[in-house]
Amino acid sequence: MSRHAYCFRPLLGLSGLLVTGVLAADENVRARPNVLFVAIDDLRPSLGCYGDPMAQTPHIDALAAAARQFNRAYCQQAVCGPSRASLLTGRLPAITRVWHNRDHFRNALPNVVTLPQLFKNNGYHTQSLGKVFSGDPREEDPQSWSVPAILRRDGWRNYALRESEGRQKKGLAFEAAEVRDDGYTDGKLANLAVRSLEELKSGSKPFFLAVGFFKPHLPFNAPRKYWDLYDPAVFDLTLANSPVDHAPDVAYHTHRELGGYTNVPADELVSAEQARQLRHGYYACVSYVDAQVGKLLAALERLKLAEDTIVVLWGDHGFALGEGRRWCKGTNFELDTRVPFIIRVPNMAKPGVATEALIELVDVYPTLAELARLSPPADLDGRSLVPILSDPETAGRDAVLSQFPRPFKPANPETMGYSIRTSTQRYTRWIRWDTRHMIAEELYAYTDPESTTTRTALLIERRNVIEDATHLLVRDQLRARMDAILAARTSATKSGNAPGALQK
């Protein structure tokens, strides 16, 4: 084992603390496990291990087979900056006040201790490569890292072909160049991460290495060989491509992420052929980033670090590929809020057994702190997932909370949508931010085929049933549940001004 080897014992299915019953080492041994923290941008659960029959993802699938896969993990807000700020601080967007990518959590929480900062403060070498906090250097957090973060290096370009680049910020929405993996940024990033692991192995401290891959974020650019893994015909969007019936207008985003690319209509009303190409490109990028994850996992094995290292893989939010006639993210729908989340602890009990427990990404912070025997801040909004790592049948939350503001801009919102997801329903409430009065509601019953449908193992809303007579009882129950969750979990409520309280 390495110089900071940790004595991992098998998970014993205990209902108590994992670290005391599972990972406890000799009390005189102060070494702690390494953490490889892998963030993947815009990754929805379009993975083989999550039941998507189209996805070619052998490396992430292999990780899941040796780990705990969480089938019902949800982000706090379905866009990168707010989601990442929430996970990395362990606080809800209501506390971080990060509702836009240009917001920074230290404006509201100047003294917050982030997840990597907690590890750094406890003797870890913490290092950030790629997109971890943000894709913009203005939103980086130097306090979190032992060495300066590397977001990009010179020569790390979105496009391999000059003709694909636009005159403005965005160029073509997809590209399939005949290049090696390191012809695009994520291949270069994977190579850098492998070299970093080689250096960290010989260091004197345990490490927390964060690697943030950029794909499958737009533009959907990946080496041609990953496009060639797929038959383009399988990407015809023939089902669930109509807008959600009776959904309020506010449920949909108005910013046009996809529409900003030069070969896509500004209104994002793409043709059937364009939809096929875009979906093909997304899956090619998923396979491309899967291969890069495989390089990191292979390096852990080669360097004999795997037995000492906790591996965490997560997507920052989901993504829509034309389903519901909607592209990208920025809503409270299931496609946008549900994310892949996989964690591997060496010698864990029942590896490869997935859990259906409802969890939030805000739960990651207390989980890793507990696994590493660190004392987290007392005011975290998440719950440790250690009991679920010990026993996948352990219950999770009764409901998970997400939200999204309108309009999407770096200022106080005009409207906020709060959404709770139970095991079988989703209830969303839209309020005026200044008055806190409700302006719209949504209810989706995931067991009702009239309300939702399934495509490639993903749930897609079809009809808002908030006024349906058969759903009135559950509507009233979820209204009360929303009131209770907001009252318990948001700072404004704690000071007596409940955001989203049921008012008309």
250-259, 306-315, 337-346: least confidently modelled range: 250-259
Answer whether residue 438 is part of any domain: no
Answer whether residue 209 is part of any domain: yes
Q: How far is CA 416 from the centre of its chain?
A: 21
- Residue 490, φ and ψ in degrees, nearest 5: -115, 140
Write out the H or E segment, with its range, that includes residue 483: helix 472-489
In angstroms, the CA 285 to CA 41 distance is: 11
The answer, yes or no, to whether residue 214 has pLDDT greater than 90, is yes
- HEC assignment per residue over 484-498: HHHHHHCHHHHCCCC
What average pLDDT score do residues 385-397 get? Answer: 98
Answer whether residue 198 is part of any domain: yes
Query: Which position has the higher pLDDT, 26 or 431?
Result: 431
For 408-422, letters b (16+ CB in 10 Å) and e give: beeeebebbbbbbbb
Q: Which residues does residue 438 pair with via DSSP β-bridges, in sequence order?
A: 431
pLDDT confidence of 491, banded at 50, 70, 90?
low
Q: Where are the alpha helices (DSSP H) in 66-207?
A: 80-89, 93-96, 105-108, 115-121, 185-201
Q: State the DSSP code for 209.
A: E
Write out the H or E segment, with its range, that includes residue 129: strand 125-130
The answer, yes or no, to whether residue 20 has pLDDT greater than 50, is no
Matching residue, tokens 């029959």: 53
What average pLDDT score do residues 109-118 get? Answer: 98
- For residue 114, give the nearest of 134, 130, 91 by alpha carbon: 91
In angstroms, the CA 35 to CA 309 distance is: 5
At residue 238, what is the residue type?
A: T
In angstroms, the CA 5 to CA 354 distance is: 27
- Residue 46, φ and ψ in degrees, nearest 5: -90, 70
pLDDT confidence of 375, banded at 50, 70, 90?
very high
* Cα four-point dihedral sign 197, 80, 221, 158: negative
The answer, yes or no, to whether residue 29 has pLDDT greater than 60, is no
What is residue 410's predicted lDDT score, i.e. its pLDDT? 84
pLDDT confidence of 409, banded at 50, 70, 90?
confident
Tens of pLDDT along 437-483? 999 999 999 999 999 998 888 999 999 999 999 999 999 999 999 99
CATH number for the domain including 391? 3.40.720.10
The answer, yes or no, to whether residue 493 has pLDDT greater than 60, is no
What is residue 8's predicted lDDT score, i.e. its pLDDT? 39
Q: Which residues does residue 460 pair with via DSSP β-bridges, in sequence order?
A: 453
What average pLDDT score do residues 366-372 get? Answer: 98
pLDDT confidence of 9, banded at 50, 70, 90?
very low
At residue 466, what is the residue type?
A: I
* Domain residue limits at 291: 18-397
At residue 21, what is the residue type?
A: G
Q: How far is CA 170 from the centre of its chain?
A: 24
Answer whether residue 50 is part of any domain: yes
Answer whether residue 439 is part of any domain: no
Burial of 153 (0-12, 13-18, 19+ CB in 10 A): exposed
Answer whether residue 387 is part of any domain: yes
In angstroms, the CA 358 to CA 353 distance is: 15
Residue 132 has which token pair? 């971890």
In angstroms, the CA 259 to CA 269 distance is: 9
pLDDT confidence of 18, banded at 50, 70, 90?
very low
What average pLDDT score do residues 408-417 get? Answer: 90
What average pLDDT score do residues 308-322 get? Answer: 97
Q: What is the pTM of this model?
A: 0.93
What average pLDDT score do residues 160-176 get? Answer: 90
In the chain, % of residues over pLDDT 90: 82
Average predicted confidence (pLDDT) for the chain: 91
Q: Which residues does residue 403 pair with via DSSP β-bridges, in sequence order?
A: 418
Answer whether residue 440 is part of any domain: no
Answer whether residue 1 is part of any domain: no
Number of domains observed in the structure of the chain: 1
